[in-house]
């Protein structure tokens, strides 16, 4: 399984630590930056990760900014993306089970690293539920071409 990761200055530190965590778990990681904690604009990194996922270069994306909110808003502009801003393991499970999220966006400022690791573990371990959720996700994705 391949993960594409990106951040801004507020998520830089956790992005690096979460990349190591994923590699330790045996996953492949594409690090789309940034490479320093200099101030940057989150949409520039959200789009890199979103394109990796939309193009099938990566299976899932992980984006970290101060809150995760801007990253989700930016990534969701890219057709094919279902990015969810997650701050609890419970919501990590639900965004996979109900919404088939393909990018998770995390808070580097308000959620500690251990919680974000648990969130990521849950995100990875949870399959899309299908069934009644299938046509809802299809309707959502049809909006990409309107």
Give the residue numbers annotated as catalytic, written as ranges.
65, 98
What's the CA gap between 27 and 19, in Å, rounded?
9
Six token digits for residue 43:
């949409």
Q: Which is nearer to ligand RB5, 66 or 129 (CB)?
A: 66
Rounded Cα distance between 12 and 18, Å, is: 10
Q: Which residues bind ligand RB5 (CB under 6 A)?
A: 8, 10, 42, 65-67, 69-70
Query: Rounded to the nearest whole angstrom, what is the least distance from the CB of residue 44 to ligand RB5 in the complex?
Result: 12
Q: From the CB of 146, what's the least distance to ligand RB5, in Å?
A: 26
Beta carbon nearer to ligand RB5, 18 or 100: 18
What is the Cα–Cα distance from 90 to 83, expressed in whole angstroms?
Answer: 16
Closer CB to ligand RB5, 78 or 100, in the complex: 78
Tell me the backbone φ, ψ of residue 137, rounded to 5 degrees.
-65, -40
Q: How far is the CB of 139 from ligand RB5 (least distance, A)?
A: 27
Query: Could you tell me if 64 and 102 are in contact, meaning their C-beta atoms sit under 8 angstroms apart?
Result: no
């Amino acid at each position: 399984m391949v993960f594409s990761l990106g951040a801004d200055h507020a998520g830089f530190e956790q992005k690096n630590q979460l990349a190591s965590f994923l590699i330790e778990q045996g996953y492949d990681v594409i690090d789309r930056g940034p490479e320093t904690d200099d101030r940057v604009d989150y949409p520039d990194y959200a789009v890199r990760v979103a394109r990796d996922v939309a193009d099938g270069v990566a299976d899932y994306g992980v984006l970290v900014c101060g809150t995760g909110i801007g990253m989700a808003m930016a990534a969701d502009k890219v057709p094919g993306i279902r990015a969810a801003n997650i701050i609890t393991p419970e919501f990590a499970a639900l965004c996979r089970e109900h919404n088939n999220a393909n990018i998770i966006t995390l808070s580097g400022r308000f959620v500690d690293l251990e919680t974000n690791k648990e969130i990521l573990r849950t995100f990875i371990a949870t399959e899309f539920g299908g069934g009644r959720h299938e046509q809802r996700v299809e309707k959502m994705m049809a909006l990409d071409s309107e």
